[in-house]
């Protein structure tokens, strides 16, 4: 239950409590950020000490290896990056989008959207391009797609906040898809993640109902779709994506 349709908790009671509250509310986001940094450090150390990037070799999206049964490569690219600029851009995007998405969707539902939409983007890349690829971009675009659907569905309930959020996300998605036309950018992964995130928001996302308490005049926003009733769909979709990689012919 949220006391107001802002997607954010009430103001913190003190300046000291605010960082702690933000950290608790964005626990999954910060965990993903930390894991991404850790894996990139491992990539850098591996390249420096061994002369080869072992995490990249073991986890990148390589179509031939996925077809041979290495289906974990639909997930592991989300933690791997090709350069400092690449990882820095995705870390910043997750830092900006993650806390809001996690506040609106909840910890576990946010994680499900991030991972399954990311897998959907990697599968789209697997089907449409033969190039090897890595990066969290498909999951980031999954968050954009999920938030677009969320704000559109609840544009009346959330008022100006919802409409402003929808317009901002449309602008961000459009700019990034245009930039993705540059050489070396896996736009199929971006587009696949965007579509997968939107579909997941329809199936798993919050279904809000706004109610006004007559006595106090407060506005209460209730979520009528608890994640405990929808998580099996997230698991089923993830398994379906893994199975698809084994039975569908990739781009070559």
Domain positions in the chain are 17-247
Tell me what pLDDT residue 14 has.
36
* CATH node for 17-247: 1.20.1540.10
Tell me what pLDDT residue 202 has.
92
Residues with a catalytic annotation lie at: 137, 190
CB 129 within 8 A of CB 249: no
Q: pLDDT per position in the chain (252 positions), as tens?
A: 333 334 433 333 333 344 455 557 899 999 999 999 999 999 999 999 999 999 999 999 999 999 999 999 999 999 999 999 999 989 999 999 999 999 999 999 999 999 999 999 999 999 999 999 999 999 999 999 999 999 888 887 777 777 787 787 887 777 776 766 666 788 899 999 999 999 999 998 888 777 766 666 666 767 777 777 888 888 998 999 999 988 888 877
Phi, psi of 2 (to 5 degrees): -120, 135
Tell me what pLDDT residue 214 has.
60
| DSSP one-letter string for 155-200 | TTTSHHHHHHHHHHHHHHHHHHHHHTTSTT--HHHHHHHHHHHHHH
Tell me what pLDDT residue 205 has.
86
Tell me what pLDDT residue 110 has.
96
């Amino acid at each position: 239950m949220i006391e107001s349709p802002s997607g954010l908790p009430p103001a913190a009671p003190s300046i000291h409590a605010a960082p702690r509250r933000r950290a608790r509310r964005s626990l999954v986001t910060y965990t993903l950020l930390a894991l991404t940094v850790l894996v990139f450090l491992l990539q850098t150390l591996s390249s420096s000490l061994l002369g080869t990037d072992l995490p990249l070799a073991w986890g990148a999206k390589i179509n031939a290896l996925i077809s041979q049964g290495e289906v974990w490569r639909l997930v592991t690219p989300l933690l791997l990056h090709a350069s400092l600029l690449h990882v820095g851009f995705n870390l910043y995007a997750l830092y900006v989008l993650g806390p809001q998405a996690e506040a609106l969707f909840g910890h576990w539902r946010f994680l499900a959207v991030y991972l399954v939409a990311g897998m959907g983007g990697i599968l789209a890349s697997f089907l449409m391009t033969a190039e090897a690829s890595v990066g969290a971009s498909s999951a980031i675009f999954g968050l954009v797609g999920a938030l677009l659907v969320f704000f559109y569905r609840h544009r009346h309930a959330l008022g100006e906040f919802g409409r402003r959020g929808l317009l901002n996300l449309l602008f961000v998605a459009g700019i990034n898809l245009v930039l993705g036309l540059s050489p070396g950018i896996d736009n199929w992964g971006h587009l696949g993640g965007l579509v997968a995130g939107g579909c997941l928001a329809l199936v798993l996302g919050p279904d809000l109902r706004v109610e006004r308490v007559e006595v106090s005049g407060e506005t209460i926003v209730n979520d009528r779709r608890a994640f405990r009733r929808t998580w099996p769909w997230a698991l089923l979709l993830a398994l379906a994506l893994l199975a698809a990689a084994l039975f569908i012919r990739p781009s070559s």
